[in-house]
Amino acid sequence: MSRYSAAEIEAKWQQAWDQAGIFEATREGDKPKYYVLEMFPYPSGRIHMGHVRNYTMGDVVARYKIATGHNVLHPMGWDAFGMPAENAAMAIGGHPKDWTYQNIADMRAQMKPLGLSIDWSREFATCDPEYYGQQQALFLDMLAEGLVYRKNAVVNWDPVDMTVLANEQVIDGKGWRSGAEVERRELTQWFFRISDMAEELLEALDGLENWPAKVRLMQENWIGKSRGLQFAFGLVDGFDGHDRVEVYTTRPDTLMGASFVGISPDHPLAKTLEREREDVAAFCAEARKGGTTAEAIEKAEKMGFDTGLRARHPFDTSCELPVYIANFILMDYGTGAIFGCPAHDQRDFEFATKYELPIIPVFEPLDGGAEPLPEAFVPAKSDKTRFVRGFAGDEVQTGEEAVNAAIEFCEANGVGQGVTKFRLRDWGLSRQRYWGCPIPVVHCAACGVVPEAKENLPVQLPYDEDGTPIDFSTPGNPLDRHPTWRDCTCPSCGAPATRETDTMDTFVDSSWYYARFTAPHAATPTDMAEAEYWMNVDQYIGGIEHAILHLLYSRFFARAMHITGHLPKKAIEPFNALFTQGMVTHEMYAGAETTREAGVSSDEEEGQVINAGRETRVKYYFPEDVIRFEFNGRPKALLRGAVEKEEIDAQNVIALNEFWEFERRRTKTVGEEDNALDVIPSAKMSKSKKNVVDPASIISAYGADTARWFVLSDSPPERDVEWTASGAEAASKHLARVWRIASEVANAPEAATPEADEALLREMHKAIDEVTKGVESFGFNAAIARLYAFTNTLARSGAGKAAKTGATLTLAQLMSPMTPHLSEDIWAMLGGEGLVATAPWPVADAKMLVDENVTLPIQINGKRRAEISVPHDMPKSEVEKIALAHDAVVKALDGAQPKKVIVVPGRIVNVVI
Partner RNA sequence: GCCCAAGUGGCGGAAUGGUAGACGCAGGGGAUUCAAAAUCCCCCGCUGGUAACAGCGUGCGAGUUCGAGUCUCGCCUUGGGCACCA
Residue 714 makes contact with RNA by CB under 7 A:
yes
Q: Could you say whether residue 867 binds RNA (CB under 7 A)?
A: yes
- Residue list 416-435, contact with RNA (CB under 7 A): 423
Judged by CB under 7 A, the chain residues 600 through 629 that form the site for RNA are none
Q: How far apart are CA 873 and CA 636, in angstroms?
A: 68
Q: How far is the CB of 781 from RNA (least distance, A)?
A: 6
Which of 563, 598, 715, 844: binder of RNA (CB under 7 A)? 715
What distance in Å separates the CA atoms of residue 35 and residue 310, rounded to the nearest whole number? 63
Specify whether the CB–CB gap between 419 and 230 falls below 8 A.
yes
Task: Give me the least distance between CB of 369 and RNA, in Å please.
Answer: 16
Shortest separation between residue 313's beta carbon and RNA, angstroms = 15
Compute how many residues bind RNA; rule: CB under 7 A: 85
- Side-chain-facing half-sphere of 447: CA atoms under 13 Å: 18
CB 866, min distance to RNA, A: 9
Q: Which of 90, 896, 782, 907 is nearest to 478 (CA)?
A: 90
Of the candidates 56, 25, 36, 34, the one whose C-alpha atom is nearest the C-alpha of residue 540 is 36
904 binds RNA, rule: CB under 7 A? yes
Per the CB < 8 A criterion, the answer to whether 147 and 563 are in contact is yes
631-690 residues in contact with RNA (CB under 7 A) are 642, 669-672, 675
Read out DSSP for 400-458?
HHHHHHHHHHHHHTTS-EEEEEES---EE-EE--SSSPBP-EEEETTTEEEEPPGGG--
Task: Please tell me the distance from the alpha carbon of residue 538 to that of residue 631, in angstroms, as a whole number.
Answer: 42
364/77 Cα distance (integer angstroms): 61
Of the pair 103, 724, the CB lying nearest RNA is at: 724
Q: Is 367 exposed, middle or buried (0-12, 13-18, 19+ CB in 10 A)?
A: exposed
Nearest Cα to Cα of residue 811 among 836, 834, 846, 833: 836
Q: Which of these segments, 166-174, 362-370, 722-730, 870-878, binds RNA (CB under 7 A)?
A: 722-730
Regarding 214 and contact with RNA (CB under 7 A), the answer is: yes
Nearer to RNA, 45 or 641 (CB): 641
- Of residues 128 and 729, the one with the C-beta less far from RNA: 729
Q: How far is the CB of 554 from RNA (least distance, A)?
A: 17
Give the number of other CB atoms < 10 A from CB of residue 850: 13
CA atoms within 13 A on the CB side of 612: 0
Are 559 and 524 in contact by the 8 Å Cβ rule? The answer is no
**What is the nearest approach in angstroms of RNA to the Cβ of residue 705?**
15
CB of 753 to RNA, least distance (A): 19
Does 891 sit near RNA (CB under 7 A)? no
Residue with Cβ nearer RNA (210 or 221): 221
Task: Based on the shown chain and the rule CB under 7 A, indicate whether residue 246 belongs to the binding site for RNA.
Answer: no
Of 729, 758, 851, 880, the one binding RNA by CB under 7 A: 729
Task: Compose the 291-310 pattern: x for residues touching RNA by CB under 7 A, - for all others.
Answer: ---x--x--xxx--------
Q: Is 859 in the site for RNA (CB under 7 A)?
A: yes
Residues 545-604 that bind RNA (CB under 7 A): 547-548
Choose one: 120-128, 231-239, 726-734, 837-845; the region binding RNA (CB under 7 A).
726-734
Contact of 161 with 180, CB cutoff 8 Å? yes
Residue 687, annotated as binding a ligand: yes
Sites for RNA among residues 320-379 (CB under 7 A): 327-331, 333-336, 338-339, 345-347
Residue closer to RNA by CB (options 77, 717) is 717
Of the candidates 291, 314, 307, the one whose C-alpha atom is nearest the C-alpha of residue 231 is 314
- Our finding on whether 724 is near RNA (CB under 7 A) is yes
Contacts to RNA from residues 782-821, by CB under 7 A: 782, 784-785, 788-789, 792, 795-796
Q: Is 121 in the site for RNA (CB under 7 A)?
A: no
Taking CB under 7 A as the rule, does residue 154 contact RNA? Answer: no
Length of the chain measured in residues: 913
Residues 6+ apart with CB under 8 A from 89: 95, 96, 99, 470, 472
Question: Interface with RNA by CB under 7 A: which range of 171-179, 223-231, 599-607, 647-655?
Answer: 223-231
Q: Please provide the DSSP assignment of 255-304 as one string.
A: GGG--EEEE-TTSHHHHHHHHH-HHHHHHHHHHH-S-S-HHHHHHSPP-E
Smaller CB separation from RNA, 207 or 671? 671
Q: Which residues contact 125 (CB under 8 A, 6 or more apart)?
A: 43, 77, 78, 80, 100, 101, 104, 131
Identity of the residue, 253 or 658, whose beta carbon is nearer to RNA in the bound complex:
253
Q: Smallest distance from the beta carbon of 856 to RNA, in angstroms? A: 7
**Closer by beta carbon to RNA, 239 or else 788:** 788
- In the complex with RNA, which residue's Cβ is closer, 511 or 713? 713
Q: How far is the CB of 669 from RNA (least distance, A)?
A: 4
Binding of residue 228 to RNA (CB under 7 A): yes
Please state the closest distance from residue 503 (CB atom) to RNA, in A: 24
Please give the DSSP secondary-structure letter assigned to residue 632.
T
Residue 595's Cβ-side half-sphere holds a number of Cα atoms within 13 Å equal to 23
- Residue positions in the annotated binding site? 687
- Residue positions in the annotated binding site for ATP? 687
